[in-house]
């Protein structure tokens, strides 16, 4: 679920941090820049692990801060494909079940990845698995807040950086409203297998 990503970056340290230990100042700036942010095709950055190398610092004309080339490792959330995780149901709609891990909410189980005999209940705003046993049919509800075990089946990264102005039409907004709503990192999951789904379903 968590991996160490090797990154090379030129880091700017502002003048008010010149009196601090340089490694401490660099660590603070790296966490300010990356913590809780999605890096395209890397994952959700959690925290700095360590600094492996740093070059000489230099100051650019007109800039009071110093710049240092740094090679470091960052803890990143990016589960591998087919990995099984446990989260909590955050929301249900006709299209999918949204799952949260607490620090990451963009996990979706589309309707086709639920149990084959599942249906959506408008009144309860929840998905229901129509489970058949020797005793008959039972409705198993997927309620908000319940713990759920799921399998990661795919991931999608989107560049959500605002685009520049359109040269052909200067009045075009800098950010398209639809593009701005796109998730930087989205995980698609499945529970259509034995042992997956609400933990309460499989409790002895």
Q: Are residues 64 and 140 in the same domain?
A: no
Pair (193, 102) in one structural domain? yes
98 and 186 share one domain: yes
Domain that holds residue 165: 84-201
- 96 and 193, same domain (yes or no): yes
pLDDT at 59: 86
Q: What angle do CA 41, 47, 52 make, to 5 degrees?
A: 85
pLDDT in tens, 65-115: 899 999 999 999 999 999 999 999 999 999 999 999 999 999 999 999 999
From 77, 102, 126, give the residue that closes a domain. Answer: 77
Residue 41 sits in a domain of what CATH number? Answer: 3.30.1490.120
Q: Quick one: CA dihedral 28, 23, 161, 85, positive or negative? A: negative
End-to-end CA distance of the chain: 27
Tell me what pLDDT residue 70 has. 96
Q: Which residues pair with 150 in a beta bridge?
A: 85
CA-nearest of 44, 19, 52, 47 to 32 is 47
pTM of the model: 0.83
Give pLDDT < 50 ranges for the chain.
167-168, 170-180
For residues 112 and 155, membership in a common domain is answered with yes
Domain count, the chain: 2
Res 138: pLDDT? 87
User: What is residue 170's predicted lDDT score, i.e. its pLDDT?
Assistant: 45
Nearest Cα to Cα of residue 41 among 180, 188, 158? 158
pLDDT of residue 87: 98
């Amino acid at each position: 679920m968590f991996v160490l990503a090797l990154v090379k970056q030129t880091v700017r340290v502002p003048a008010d941090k010149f009196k601090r230990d340089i490694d401490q100042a660099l660590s603070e700036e790296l966490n300010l820049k990356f913590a809780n942010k999605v890096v395209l095709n890397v994952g959700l950055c959690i925290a700095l692990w360590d600094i492996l190398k740093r070059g000489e610092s230099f100051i650019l004309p007109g800039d009071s801060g110093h710049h240092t080339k740094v090679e470091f490792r960052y803890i990143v959330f990016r589960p591998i494909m087919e990995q099984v995780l446990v989260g909590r149901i955050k929301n249900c709609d006709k299209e999918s079940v949204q799952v949260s891990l607490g620090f990451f909410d963009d996990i979706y189980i589309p309707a086709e990845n639920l149990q084959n005999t599942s249906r959506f209940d408008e009144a309860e705003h929840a998905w229901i698995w129509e489970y058949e046993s020797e005793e008959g049919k039972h409705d198993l509800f997927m309620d908000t807040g319940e713990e759920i075990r799921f399998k990661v089946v795919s991931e999608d990264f989107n560049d959500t950086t605002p685009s520049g102005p359109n040269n052909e039409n200067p009045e075009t907004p800098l950010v398209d409203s639809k593009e701005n709503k796109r998730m930087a990192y989205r995980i698609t999951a499945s529970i259509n297998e034995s042992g997956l789904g609400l933990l309460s379903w499989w409790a002895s």
